């Protein structure tokens, strides 16, 4: 599987599309809004201010959330310009995602996007296909970079766990698809090393592209402690493995395909993240924080600790939303690894049932980090 080509969010606007199942990511953009807005104004004032402000969103995807973060940034800078009695800048908005992203859907939404800015300054939108683990933009060309719900995706399955021809290192994580209870310690170590390589590459590339005094605001899934994934951090994958293993026991999936799949996902702790940033050395950390977000914008639900109560969404309904959300995100890579013969309807129906049982007794919220950095 080559993630650059084989990983994309489900396109369109159907039941299983990312556009119809990205409420949680919209909530994460909202919950990190104040950090992004402050960074936008600081980046604008701290870099000139420039006549044209270049802003990149890395991992923009498509659907209702694709333009939310950049919209926010323009609004914050334009409001600051009114207060400062300055002419606002023109905006160069650069929307990046992998090659299979539904950029056409984003482009089709642009007339409406522009029509919602009457009387505002000019903004120019460009799609930039490619991986954010490589260079994407010319040197010293960006004033602000943001990324939301994307950087927990690694560039590949952890290298040390990949099945290479004749390699005995394969299949150390039998029956699992992520760091799980019962995974040998080398699995967590392989994930940590892959994250280290990837995140360092990410920082080095952005350090080339961002001007001095430019900012970067990153929000993505995180762990609350340095401990290798606790159940609250790994149930999404552990229950998916349970659903796959149940299908394997009925000969609907080859067990060997499960044993060789390790989700290219890693949610670092705040400490790990800070160590990487300080170790790489190109950026100063201006703020960093954890926050929790449920798989809906219904704060009431997770205020109850996940228990279903009158007027509160039931764990079964919640599970349905979550199963569709995970399907919208992961279906392309699962199809690529397991093959077209494996029924995604069957897999996600089983997953939905397992999630409902889990949510009947457990909190549904997931941990995220938002971190603001300035280029030295
Ligand atoms: C869950 S979506 C989040 C999209 C959007 N930012 C939002 O908040 O709704 C994650 C996006 O990151 C993209 N992505 C993952 N790895 C990437 C990489 N290495 N380079 C660029 N985009 C990547 C995926 O293709 C996907 O569109």
In this predicted model, what pLDDT tens digit does every residue of 29-42 receive, in sequence order? 999 999 999 999 99
In the reported structure, the alpha carbon of residue 101 is separated from the centroid of ligand 1 by a whole-number distance in angstroms of: 9
The pLDDT value given to residue 228: 65
Which of 228-242, 271-285, 318-332 is least confident? 228-242
Atom of ligand 1 at shortest distance to CA of 65?
Answer: 9
Instruction: List, in order, residues 6 or more apart from 313 with CB less than 8 Å away.
Output: 296, 298, 301
Atom of ligand 1 at shortest distance to CA of 7?
Answer: 25
The residue whose CA has the least distance to atom 23 of ligand 1 is 59
* Residue found under tokens 């694709």: 66
Q: What are the tokens at 183?
A: 């995974």
The mean per-residue pLDDT over the stretch 322-336 comes to: 96
Helices and strands, counts by H and E, the chain: 13, 7
How buried is 145 (Cβ within 10 angstroms: 0-12 exposed, 13-18 middle, 19+ buried)? buried
Mutate to test the pocket of ligand 1, among 36, 98, 132 (most ligand atoms within 8 A of CB): 98
Distance (Å, whole) CA 2 – CA 212? 34
Instruction: List, in order, residues 6 or more apart from 282 with CB less than 8 Å away.
Output: 203, 204, 206, 207, 375, 376
Nearest-CA neighbor of 369 among 193, 147, 191, 60?
147
Distance (Å, whole) CA 140 – CA 212? 8
SS3 169: coil
List the beta bridge partners of residue 284: 374
In the reported structure, the alpha carbon of residue 61 is separated from the centroid of ligand 1 by a whole-number distance in angstroms of: 6
The residue whose CA has the least distance to atom 10 of ligand 1 is 150
The pLDDT value given to residue 116: 92
CA 71 to each of CA 65, 68, 98, 217, 280: distance values in angstroms, whole numbers, following the listed order: 10, 5, 21, 15, 30
The mean per-residue pLDDT over the stretch 71-83 comes to: 97
In the reported structure, the alpha carbon of residue 205 is separated from the centroid of ligand 1 by a whole-number distance in angstroms of: 17
Phi-psi region of 293 (alpha: psi -120 to 50; beta: other; left: phi over 0): beta
- Cα dihedral value 317, 321, 322, 328, nearest 10: 160
303 has pLDDT over 90: no
321 has pLDDT over 60: yes
Nearest-CA neighbor of 223 among 177, 155, 273?
273
The pLDDT value given to residue 167: 58
Number of neighbouring beta carbons within 10 Å of residue 185: 9
Mutate to test the pocket of ligand 1, among 10, 61, 145 (most ligand atoms within 8 A of CB): 61
Q: What are the tokens at 33?
A: 């809004």
Which of 20-24, 89-93, 204-208 is least confident? 20-24
The pLDDT value given to residue 170: 57
Distance (Å, whole) CA 309 – CA 67? 35
In the reported structure, the alpha carbon of residue 131 is separated from the centroid of ligand 1 by a whole-number distance in angstroms of: 9
In the reported structure, the alpha carbon of residue 333 is separated from the centroid of ligand 1 by a whole-number distance in angstroms of: 13
Nearest-CA neighbor of 95 among 120, 149, 132, 121?
132
In this predicted model, what pLDDT tens digit does every residue of 340-376 receive, in sequence order? 999 999 999 999 999 999 988 888 888 999 999 999 9
The pLDDT value given to residue 168: 54
Distance (Å, whole) CA 134 – CA 245? 35
In this predicted model, what pLDDT tens digit does every residue of 213-238 receive, in sequence order? 999 999 999 998 877 667 778 999 99
User: What is the pLDDT confidence band of residue 202, given thresholds at 50, 70 and 90?
Assistant: very high
174 has pLDDT over 50: yes
311 has pLDDT over 60: no
Q: What are the tokens at 280?
A: 């790489």
Cβ atoms of 303 and 335 closer than 8 Å: no
The pLDDT value given to residue 292: 86
Which of 43-57, 139-153, 306-320, 345-359 is least confident? 306-320
Nearest-CA neighbor of 321 among 49, 41, 25, 76?
25
The pLDDT value given to residue 227: 75
State the pairing for strand pair 90-97/123-129: parallel
Cβ atoms of 55 and 94 closer than 8 Å: yes
In the reported structure, the alpha carbon of residue 150 is separated from the centroid of ligand 1 by a whole-number distance in angstroms of: 4
Distance (Å, whole) CA 268 – CA 139? 28
Q: Which domains does the chain have, with CATH numbers?
A: 3-375 (3.40.50.150)
Nearest-CA neighbor of 20 among 102, 107, 94, 97?
102
The residue whose CA has the least distance to atom 3 of ligand 1 is 149
Atom of ligand 1 at shortest distance to CA of 132?
Answer: 20
Atom of ligand 1 at shortest distance to CA of 29?
Answer: 8
Distance (Å, whole) CA 68 – CA 126? 15
In the reported structure, the alpha carbon of residue 152 is separated from the centroid of ligand 1 by a whole-number distance in angstroms of: 9
Mutate to test the pocket of ligand 1, among 153, 198, 220 (most ligand atoms within 8 A of CB): 153
Report the pocket of ligand 1 as residue ranges, CB < 6 Å: 7-9, 22, 25, 29, 58-61, 65, 96-98, 101, 131-133, 148-150, 153, 155, 329
The pLDDT value given to residue 98: 98
In the reported structure, the alpha carbon of residue 147 is separated from the centroid of ligand 1 by a whole-number distance in angstroms of: 8
């Amino acid at each position: 599987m080559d993630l650059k080509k084989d990983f994309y969010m489900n396109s369109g606007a159907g039941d299983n599309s990312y556009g119809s199942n990205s409420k949680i990511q919209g909530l994460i953009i909202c919950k990190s809004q104040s950090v992004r807005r402050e960074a936008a104004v600081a980046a604008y004032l701290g870099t000139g201010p420039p006549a044209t402000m270049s802003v990149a969103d890395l991992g923009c995807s498509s659907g209702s959330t694709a333009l939310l973060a950049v919209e926010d940034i323009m609004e914050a800078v334009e409001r600051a310009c009114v207060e400062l009695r300055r002419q606002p800048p023109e905006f160069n908005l650069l929307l990046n995602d992998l090659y299979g992203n539904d950029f056409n859907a984003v482009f089709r939404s642009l007339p409406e996007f522009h029509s919602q800015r009457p009387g505002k300054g000019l903004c120019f939108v460009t799609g930039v296909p490619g991986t954010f683990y490589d260079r994407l933009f010319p040197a010293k060309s960006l004033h602000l970079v943001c990324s939301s719900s994307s950087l927990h995706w690694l560039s590949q399955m952890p290298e040390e766990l990949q099945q290479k021809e004749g390699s005995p290192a394969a299949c150390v994580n039998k029956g699992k698809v992520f760091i799980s209870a019962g995974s040998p310690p080398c699995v967590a170590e392989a994930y940590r090393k892959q994250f280290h390589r990837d995140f360092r590459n990410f920082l080095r590339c952005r350090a080339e592209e961002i001007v001095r005094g430019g900012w970067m605001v990153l929000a993505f899934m995180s762990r609350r402690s340095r401990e290798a994934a606790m159940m609250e951090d790994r149930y999404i994958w552990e229950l998916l493995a349970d659903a796959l293993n149940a299908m394997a026991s009925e000969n609907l999936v080859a067990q060997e395909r499960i044993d060789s799949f390790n989700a290219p996902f890693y949610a670092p702790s705040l400490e790990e993240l800070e160590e990487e940033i300080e170790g790489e050395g190109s950026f100063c950390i201006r703020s960093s924080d954890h926050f929790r977000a449920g798989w809906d914008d219904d704060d009431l639900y997770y205020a109850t600790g996940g228990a279903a109560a009158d007027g509160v969404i039931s764990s079964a309904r919640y599970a349905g939303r979550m199963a569709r959300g995970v399907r919208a995100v992961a279906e392309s890579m699962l199809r690529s690894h397991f093959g077209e013969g494996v029924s995604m309807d069957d897999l996600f129906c089983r997953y939905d049932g397992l999630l409902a049982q889990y949510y009947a007794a457990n909190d549904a919220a997931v941990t995220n980090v938002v971190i603001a950095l300035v280029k030295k």
